[in-house]
């Protein structure tokens, strides 16, 4: 029995919480192996780690300690709101905030924590200097036209006054054979000759696969850390990190003509046994992954029927007549396998993972 006072206060002991019908398993050994592989492929450069978006959906509390213990000492987030979770595990001076400083409050927070802003414009440079300056990184836009100063702004007094640790840029087409890749590396090299700095950084996960000419001093892998293979050169080096499973909630028998799910998107044409499974688009299994996709039980393939609902999908149990309520099915989440991604990119498959799917 739950104590009445605790119940009224909403403080129900964790040990009374029933086991979930969804589970996300994180292979920490694979994550560490992926970082070490990417660090080795970076040659004389040192691999950092992009841990923005809650470590691409897998949780900073789960991933940052693994990456730290594997040898990583440079971490990247996008927002200042992401910083606290990361610096619970590593020193703040090892963390860079990619969106930079947009206000005096951002500058004050950076100085209070010791985290490093990535300056992206002359306006940000002036703002950072007005508050006293200090160690920062600087983004130079070499062709992706998102964030960063223009190469022609390298000589601006505000840029020259910065205490720049990492001078960086970002590849626009590293996952393709594109003439823009060497052009961007050349432009960063030119900027390096005009802007005082300590280290250079250009390569993301795919950029690491382009070779030593793109590695410079620091690489910034993200997707490949978590199991993505953005270029074929990384195949064999990267291991799957996340495994997702969901329980069967109910089984039922359909007669010919029975419809499944919203808008009768699937109609049975023969008698069939189906299972309703505890995963839906609120968990990151988006509707675009429904048609033509399937869940798995060992080697058995269980096609998804009809539309994916917010919390449930329905699967065909023709190949698994022995399964019933409470049995676990594997939800394909090998982001290196393009054949099962449907219309989703591997980045989306990770970052849309819902809050109910958390490593236990």
What does the DSSP assignment read for 272-316?
Answer: EEEEEES--GGGT--GGGSTT-EEEETTEEEEEES---SS-EEEE
Asked if residue 266 and residue 182 are part of one domain, the reply reads no
Domain boundary among 165, 199, 234: 234
Catalytic site residue from 56, 262, 266, 281: 262
Tens of pLDDT along the chain (360 residues) come to 455 555 555 677 777 878 889 999 999 999 999 999 999 999 999 999 999 999 999 999 999 999 999 999 999 999 999 999 999 999 999 999 999 999 999 999 999 999 999 999 999 999 999 999 999 999 999 999 999 999 999 999 999 999 999 999 999 999 999 999 999 999 999 999 999 999 999 999 999 999 999 999 999 999 999 999 999 999 999 999 999 999 999 999 999 999 999 999 999 999 999 999 999 999 989 888 777 889 999 999 999 999 999 999 999 999 999 999 999 999 988 877 654 545 667 778 888 888 888 765
Q: Total domain count for the chain?
A: 2
pLDDT at position 94 is 98
Asked if residue 251 and residue 230 are part of one domain, the reply reads no
pLDDT at position 287 is 87
Assigned domain for 169 exists: yes
Domain boundary among 234, 262, 277: 234
Query: What does the radius of gyration of the chain's CA atoms come to, in whole angstroms?
Result: 24
Residue 37, helix vs strand vs coil: helix
pLDDT at position 17 is 79
Catalytic site residue from 52, 266, 281, 307: 52
pLDDT at position 360 is 55
Residue 328's domain is classified under what CATH number? 2.40.37.10
d(CA 42, CA 220): 10
Q: Does the annotation mark 347 as catalytic?
A: no
d(CA 108, CA 316): 56
Per-residue model confidence as pLDDT tens digits over 146-193: 999 999 999 999 999 999 999 999 999 999 999 999 999 999 999 999
Domain boundary among 234, 266, 289: 234
pTM summary value:
0.90
d(CA 252, CA 61): 40
pLDDT at position 307 is 94
Burial of 51 (0-12, 13-18, 19+ CB in 10 A): buried
pLDDT at position 147 is 96
pLDDT at position 357 is 81
* Residue with token string 């698994």: 320
Q: Does the annotation mark 52 as catalytic?
A: yes
Assigned domain for 1 exists: no
- Structural domain harbouring 182: 28-234
pLDDT at position 339 is 44
Residue 210's domain is classified under what CATH number? 3.20.20.10
């Amino acid at each position: 029995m739950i104590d009445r006072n605790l119940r009224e206060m909403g403080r129900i002991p964790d040990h009374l919480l029933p086991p979930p019908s969804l589970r996300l398993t994180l292979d920490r050994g694979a994550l560490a192996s992926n970082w070490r592989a990417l660090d080795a492929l970076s040659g004389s450069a040192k691999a950092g780690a992009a841990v923005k978006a809650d470590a691409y959906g897998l949780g900073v509390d789960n991933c940052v300690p693994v990456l730290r213990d594997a040898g990583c000492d440079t971490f990247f987030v996008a927002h200042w709101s992401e910083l606290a979770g990361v610096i619970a595990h590593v020193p703040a001076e090892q963390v860079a905030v990619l969106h930079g400083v947009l206000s005096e409050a951002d500058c004050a927070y950076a100085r209070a924590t010791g985290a490093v802003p990535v300056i992206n414009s002359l306006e940000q440079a002036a703002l950072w200097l007005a508050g006293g300056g200090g160690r920062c990184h600087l983004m130079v836009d070499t062709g992706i036209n998102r964030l960063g100063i223009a190469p022609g702004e390298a000589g601006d007094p505000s840029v020259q006054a910065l205490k720049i640790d990492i001078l960086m840029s970002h590849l626009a087409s590293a996952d393709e054979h594109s003439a823009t890749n060497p052009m961007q590396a050349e432009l960063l090299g030119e900027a390096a000759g005009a802007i005082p700095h300590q280290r250079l950084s250009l390569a993301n996960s795919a950029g690491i696969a382009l070779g030593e000419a793109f590695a410079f001093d620091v690489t910034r892998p993200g997707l490949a850390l978590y199991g993505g293979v953005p270029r074929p050169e990384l195949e064999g080096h990267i291991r799957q990190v996340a495994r997702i499973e969901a329980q069967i909630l109910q089984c039922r028998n359909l007669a010919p003509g029975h419809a499944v799910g919203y808008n009768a998107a699937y109609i049975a044409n023969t008698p069939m046994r189906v299972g309703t499974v505890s995963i839906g688009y609120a968990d990151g299994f988006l509707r675009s992954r429904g048609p033509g996709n399937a869940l798995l039980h060992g080697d058995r393939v269980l096609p998804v029927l009809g539309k994916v609902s917010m919390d449930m999908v329905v699967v065909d149990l023709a190949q698994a007549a022995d399964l019933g309520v409470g049995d676990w099915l594997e939800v394909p989440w090998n982001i290196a396998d393009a054949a099962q991604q449907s219309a989703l990119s591997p980045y989306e498959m990770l970052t849309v993972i819902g809050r109910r799917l958390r490593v236990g």
